[in-house]
A and B are shown apart, each in its own frame.
Chain A
Amino acid sequence: MIPENFEYSAPATLDEALKLIQGGAKPLAGGMSLIPMMKLRLATPERLVDIGRLKDLNYIREASGAIHVGAAATHYDVESSPVIRVKCPLLSETAAHIGDVQVRNMGTIGGSIAHADPAADYPAALQALEAKIVLKGAKSERTVSAGDFFLDTFTTALEPGELVREVIVPVEGGGVGTSYQKMLQPASGFAIVGVAARIQRSGGKITMARIGVTGLANRSFRATAAERALEGKSGSATEIQNAAALVSEGVDANSDLNASAEYRKHLATVYAARAITAALARSA
């Protein structure tokens, strides 16, 4: 349980950190995934650069109809932020589901999404929110959508030398209700399946439905067939069931000792129905 030797640096600015990362150092944010791997000697980075305390990455602010969450914001910061709780409650609700208190106090949103564990909670919400993710390299910065960011198990759109700088989520408009529902693995807290639903209703009809799914497949995704099945409907129990059944259709589901592929697909339907029902109840 003692890692191999490594060099550690904690620069004061993002630019300095990016220079070290360009030079081959591994970024360390909250360390909730990397440190356990190092202790088991599954990961043996020679140089770490600590970005978890960088002021340049530690913020949550609202600007022009969106909320900008710095990469080093911890899950607890997101869970407890008054601005997020009121204006983008799906993100704070999802953050509250991650791991346990200790993990939420250390782990960061940037670290979690850059790691891209296929069972992580945030990706479901970020897909449903159509979040944007800002990636910063030494010289340039680019913005990708959540749908284009999560590519595969542990694989994201991040290029070598790039860092997640911030996550941009929308300020919810009127009539929007959201919910995140998950079946968790009791020891780790990871989602065996997690579904985030975001529904807008107007005049008794669903005008927008967004459904993000995590844990089911190699990467998080938006269940667009289920979204289409809901839009224009009133949201009756039957309509919800029919839409939820589409969430796992055609999906190459994961299988492990916690749940077979078939069981996971069943769970996805059950939890999608719960998330849609709860989101509808919260919508206008």
Chain B
Amino acid sequence: MKISGSHALPFSPEQAYAVLQDPAALALAIPGCQSLEKTGDNEYHMKMKMVVAAISGNFEGSVRLSEHMPPSSFRMDVDGSGKIGFVKGSGLLTITPADGGSAVAYDGEMQIGGTIAAVGQRLIDTTSKMMLKKFFERIVSG
């Protein structure tokens, strides 16, 4: 599935570029993130508990950052799995200056599988949009 969209951030492109790669800020902003530990250069191990409606599940996996082009773009790869399914995604984040700060556009591919995808297919698009919105709101509120 393709995911794309954009979000305004009240930061300069340099600040936005930095905060979107700051593990402490990411850990606070990713919905349900329980821990994000550095395991290598630009590599992190993440544990999260996803809660959507009555569904809840623990996921564990890796986050990798690459293709650094400061301060305008980088790639984020996420790979996680849990009892209720798996998520795999890769997206390019592009930061451009905008009125009042910067705009972050994301464009990528996401794969969701397992029980959660088998029964929740019709809800994946709207649920992932909601989680991305939460993520950017929390990046702003810190």
A interface, CB within 8 angstroms of B: 26, 33-34, 36-38, 40-45, 115-119, 152-155, 185, 188, 190, 217-218, 252, 254-258
Contact of A44 with B133 at beta-carbon distance under 8 Å, contacts A118-B123, A153-B123, A254-B125 already known: no
Give which listed residue, B56, B115, B120, contacts A44 with CB less than 8 A. B56
Residues of B within 8 Å of A185, CB to CB, are 122
| Bound: A95/B95 CA distance, A | 46
Closest to B114 in A: A42
Contact of A255 with B125 at beta-carbon distance under 8 Å, contacts A40-B119, A218-B130 already known: yes
Is the pair A252, B129 in contact by a Cβ cutoff of 8 Å? yes
5 inter-chain pairs at a CB distance below 8 angstroms, sorted by A residue, are: A118-B123, A153-B129, A155-B130, A256-B123, A258-B122
Residues of B within 8 Å of A42, CB to CB, are 54-55, 57, 84, 115-116, 119-120
Is the pair A37, B55 in contact by a Cβ cutoff of 8 Å? yes
Is the pair A152, B133 in contact by a Cβ cutoff of 8 Å? yes
Query: Most chain-B CB neighbours within 10 Å: which of A45, A153, A155, A217?
Result: A153
**B21: interface (CB < 8 Å):** no
| B34-61 to A contact mask, C-beta < 8 Å, 1/0 | 0000000000000000001111110000
Give which listed residue, A43, A45, A118, A256, contacts B121 with CB less than 8 A. A256
Is the pair A41, B133 in contact by a Cβ cutoff of 8 Å? no
B interface, CB within 8 angstroms of A: 52-57, 83-84, 115-116, 119-127, 129-130, 133
Is the pair B127, A154 in contact by a Cβ cutoff of 8 Å? yes
| Bound: A257/B133 CA distance, A | 22
A41-B84, A43-B56, A118-B126 known, 18 other contacts, Cβ within 8 Å = A37-B54, A38-B54, A41-B83, A43-B54, A44-B56, A152-B130, A152-B133, A153-B52, A154-B52, A154-B127, A185-B122, A217-B126, A218-B126, A252-B129, A254-B126, A255-B125, A256-B123, A257-B122
Give which listed residue, A26, A119, A254, contacts B54 with CB less than 8 A. A26
Residues of A within 8 Å of B116, CB to CB, are 42
| Bound: A119/B120 CA distance, A | 12
Is the pair A153, B54 in contact by a Cβ cutoff of 8 Å? no
CB distance from B142 to the nearest CB of A (A): 21
10 smallest CB-CB distances across A and B, nearest first, come from A154-B53, A43-B54, A256-B122, A153-B126, A42-B55, A153-B130, A218-B126, A254-B126, A37-B54, A152-B130
| Bound: A86/B87 CA distance, A | 49
Residues of A within 8 Å of B56, CB to CB, are 43-44
Residues of A within 8 Å of B52, CB to CB, are 153-154
| Bound: A119/B125 CA distance, A | 12
Closest to A28 in B: B54
Is the pair B121, A257 in contact by a Cβ cutoff of 8 Å? yes
Residues of A within 8 Å of B55, CB to CB, are 37, 42-43
Residues of B within 8 Å of A188, CB to CB, are 122
Residues of B within 8 Å of A190, CB to CB, are 122
Closest to B57 in A: A42
Residues of B within 8 Å of A152, CB to CB, are 130, 133
CB distance from A190 to the nearest CB of B (A): 7
Closest to B128 in A: A153
| Bound: A254/B126 CA distance, A | 6
Residues of A within 8 Å of B130, CB to CB, are 152-155, 218
CB distance from A40 to the nearest CB of B (A): 6
